[in-house]
């Protein structure tokens, strides 16, 4: 493991705490206004092309009490986008607002022709896609032919051609100048709905008695959850959205469904962090779309009371346990298959397929392989909705490699090899014929080798330097917590220091509890899934995150060990 200390940028941000200023500068902040986390500091919605046109059409549907159908995606971003849209439009006075999320195993992703046929039975006047639609050329055409207007609200990267929708709101459109390209689907939906409210306000639609103007801030808990769960980079704009959503949750102002998911994830709502959303809440919500369909997750988010929300959260928790078991088995099978590939250690990109793999879990398994091998990975399973012999893959990339660009290069060089593909820089999906898998595996490795070098494949651990003896306190933990949210693109602070090893003992069968000394200070630490160290070792280099340990009557400092290296 190569330990690299993050470079600290020059300049001053006006932050009172020197440690926090150092952390912000090392994460690329250059101006004091980038540290702002108030809603007033959000970018203007008017930077999004087509947002006025889209808002006018939706406002027409609200005023004329037209039937609106929201079509979402089957992940946590899609679920929160659907819940947000349905709740916000209802709060604005819309009449009929239904939602439809394609079953991934029957219809696949997005506004397909097949899902439009299902939608027609509901007789909508307007379809709004959330977290999908930018690549749905045929689906939008089918809706247009049926006389249904379509507004696309999405954040995925577009292809060479845009669908012929009534309006397309997507910061990643090539002609869109909106400076934050990292918004999740739920963030785009929130921006669009905020301008719908503005448009209705201009039309004097709201009144104080019968139809009060809603405060959309009440839905920021959904925006925060979807943004973190989709692992989009936390640029300045996204940090504001997540921070404000977390504030509401900590104050108890959150949907019963989110509260129930926090409870079942054994997290403290009053001290909820972005990491809690990413590791405890998001996976349980995602489990519904991975193993069944996302309707149970959306119903949990829409639940009006805590009792029904808890029942749905319990169901999601059960699905998540099933997902974890599947994941463990699939990772083991995938590693065994890769071990049989000649010279696999020399491959720049890895791809694996098994007929027993579950289509809903391949993305997680690809992520696990990426972490263990530090290579871009694609895991394939048989397609449930495609033609016979078709397989679907989910790709996860490493820093420095845009995986969608890799797939685009392959599609351009080898026409017909990929049936379809799409996604982000770090994650993408694709489908191809099973008979072409071995050929694709070789081509994928070759294209990746052209775009990155061997140094990129070396496992690296980026740290924020060390902490002084005086900084190894619970107060530092609280200071770091307040300086967040931390997450993708704005990583949680990680430090590296040399310690004297005072004692070690195994806890929970596979974790190592340590007592470390830095100068005169003793500090507890825990290394998860770490075997015991040689008893002769006296000093350690430790990569760690300072955390609060609530075990016992009084909170104490505990270091969460990310990596440990014996010193001579």
Q: What is the pLDDT of residue 386?
A: 60
Q: Which of 13-29 are b and which e, b meaning 16 or more Cβ less than 10 Å from the residue's Cβ? A: bebeeebbbbbbbbbeb
Helices (H), 274-393: 274-276, 282-291, 295-302, 306-339, 362-373
From 196-210, 386-400, 527-541, the region with the lowest mean pLDDT? 386-400
Q: Within 13 Å of residue 448, how many CA atoms lie on the same side as its CB?
A: 30
Residue 387: pLDDT band by 50, 70, 90 thresholds? low
Structural contact between residues 57 and 25, judged by C-beta atoms closer than 8 angstroms: no
pLDDT tens digit sequence for 483-513:
999 999 999 999 999 999 999 999 988 899 9
Distance separating alpha carbons of residues 392 and 402, to the nearest angstrom: 19
Structural contact between residues 511 and 254, judged by C-beta atoms closer than 8 angstroms: no
DSSP character at residue 490: B
Average pLDDT estimate for 60-79: 96
Distance separating alpha carbons of residues 193 and 190, to the nearest angstrom: 5
Residue 133: pLDDT band by 50, 70, 90 thresholds? very high
Average pLDDT estimate for 267-280: 96
What domains can you pick out in the chain, each with its CATH number? 2-11+461-567 (2.40.50.460), 44-315 (3.90.1640.30), 341-457 (3.10.310.30)
Question: Residue 422 to residues 71, 78, 110, 392, 433: CA-CA distances in angstroms?
Answer: 18, 16, 11, 12, 17
With a pLDDT cut of 70, the percent of the chain lying above it is 99
pLDDT tens digit sequence for 19-51:
999 999 999 999 999 999 999 999 999 999 999
Average pLDDT estimate for 159-179: 96
Residue 529: pLDDT band by 50, 70, 90 thresholds? confident
Residue 362: pLDDT band by 50, 70, 90 thresholds? very high
Distance separating alpha carbons of residues 152 and 52, to the nearest angstrom: 13
Residue 449: pLDDT band by 50, 70, 90 thresholds? very high
Residue 385: pLDDT band by 50, 70, 90 thresholds? low
Question: Residue 20 to residues 223, 477, 544, 560: CA-CA distances in angstroms?
Answer: 26, 11, 17, 19
With a CB cutoff of 8 Å and minimum separation 6, the contacts of 187 are 155, 223, 226, 227, 232, 237, 238, 241
Does residue 175 surpass a pLDDT of 80? yes
| CA 245, 251, 253, 259 torsion-angle sign | positive
From 148-157, 170-179, 223-232, 283-292, the region with the lowest mean pLDDT? 283-292
Does residue 196 surpass a pLDDT of 90? yes
Q: What is the pLDDT of residue 539?
A: 96
Q: What is the pLDDT of residue 74?
A: 86
Q: What mean pLDDT is reported for the chain?
A: 94
Q: What is the pLDDT of residue 567?
A: 93
Does residue 558 surpass a pLDDT of 80? yes
Q: What is the pLDDT of residue 252?
A: 96
Q: What is the pLDDT of residue 146?
A: 97
What are residue 515's phi and psi, to 5 degrees?
Answer: -120, 125
Average pLDDT estimate for 91-114: 88
Residue 467 DSSP SS3:
coil
Structural contact between residues 540 and 565, judged by C-beta atoms closer than 8 angstroms: yes
With a CB cutoff of 8 Å and minimum separation 6, the contacts of 551 are none
Average pLDDT estimate for 48-60: 98
Residue 199: pLDDT band by 50, 70, 90 thresholds? very high
Residue 392: pLDDT band by 50, 70, 90 thresholds? very high
With a pLDDT cut of 90, the percent of the chain lying above it is 87
Does residue 243 surpass a pLDDT of 80? yes
How many C-beta neighbours within 10 Å does residue 212 have? 11
Cis omega before residue 2 (within 30°)? Answer: no
């Amino acid at each position: 493991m190569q330990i690299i200390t993050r470079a600290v940028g020059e300049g001053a941000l006006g932050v009172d705490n020197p440690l926090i200023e150092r952390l912000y500068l090392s994460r690329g902040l250059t101006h004091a206004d980038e540290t702002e986390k108030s809603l007033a500091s959000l970018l203007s919605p008017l930077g999004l092309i087509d947002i006025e046109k889209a808002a006018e059409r939706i406002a027409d549907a609200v005023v004329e009490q037209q039937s609106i159908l929201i079509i979402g995606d089957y992940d946590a971003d899609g679920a929160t986008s659907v819940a947000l849209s349905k709740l916000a439009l209802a709060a604005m006075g819309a009449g009929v607002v239904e939602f439809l999320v394609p079953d991934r195993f029957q219809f696949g992703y997005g506004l397909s022709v097949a899902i439009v046929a299902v939608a027609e039975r509901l007789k909508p006047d307007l379809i709004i896609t959330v977290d999908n639609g930018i690549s749905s050329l045929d689906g939008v055409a089918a809706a247009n032919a049926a006389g249904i207007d379509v507004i696309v609200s999405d954040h995925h990267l577009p292809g060479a051609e845009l669908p012929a929708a009534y309006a397309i709101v997507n910061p990643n459109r090539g002609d869109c100048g909106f400076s934050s390209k990292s918004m999740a689907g739920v963030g785009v939906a929130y921006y669009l709905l905020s301008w719908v409210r503005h448009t209705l306000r201009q039309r004097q639609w709201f009144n104080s008695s019968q139809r009060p103007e809603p405060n959309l801030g009440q839905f920021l808990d959904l925006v925060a959850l979807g943004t973190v769960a989709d692992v989009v980079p936390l640029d300045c704009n996204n940090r504001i959205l997540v921070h404000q959503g977390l504030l509401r949750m900590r104050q108890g102002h959150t949907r019963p469904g989110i509260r129930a998911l926090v409870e079942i994830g054994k997290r403290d709502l009053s001290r909820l962090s972005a990491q809690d959303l990413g590791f405890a809440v998001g996976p349980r919500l995602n489990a519904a779309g991975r193993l069944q369909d996302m309707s149970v997750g959306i119903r949990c988010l829409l639940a009006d009371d805590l009792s029904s929300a808890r029942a749905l959260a319990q169901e999601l928790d059960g699905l998540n346990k099933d997902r974890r078991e599947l994941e463990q088995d699939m990772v083991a099978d995938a590693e065994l298959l890769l071990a049989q590939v000649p010279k696999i250690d020399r491959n720049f990109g890895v791809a694996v397929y098994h007929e027993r793999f579950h289509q809903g879990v391949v993305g997680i398994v690809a992520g696990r392989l990426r972490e263990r091998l530090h290579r871009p990975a694609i895991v394939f399973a048989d397609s449930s909705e495609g033609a016979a012999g078709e397989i679907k893959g989910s790709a996860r990339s490493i820093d420095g490699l845009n995986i969608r660009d890799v797939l685009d290069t392959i599609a351009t060089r080898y026409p017909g090899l990929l049936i379809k593909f799409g996604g982000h820089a770090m994650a993408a999906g694709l489908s191809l014929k099973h008979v072409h898998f071995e050929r694709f595996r070789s081509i994928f490795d070759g294209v990746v080798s052209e775009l990155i070098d061997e140094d990129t494949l070396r496992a690296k651990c980026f740290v924020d330097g060390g902490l002084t003896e005086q900084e190894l306190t619970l107060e530092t933990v609280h200071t770091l917590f307040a300086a967040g949210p931390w997450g993708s693109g704005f990583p949680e602070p990680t430090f590296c220091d040399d310690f004297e090893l005072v004692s070690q003992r195994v806890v929970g069968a596979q974790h190592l509890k340590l007592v470390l000394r830095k100068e005169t200070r003793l500090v507890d630490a825990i290394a998860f899934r770490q075997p015991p160290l040689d008893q002769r070792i006296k000093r350690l280099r430790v990569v760690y995150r300072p955390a609060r340990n609530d075990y016992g009557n009084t909170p104490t400092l505990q270091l969460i060990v990310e990596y440990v290296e014996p010193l001579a």
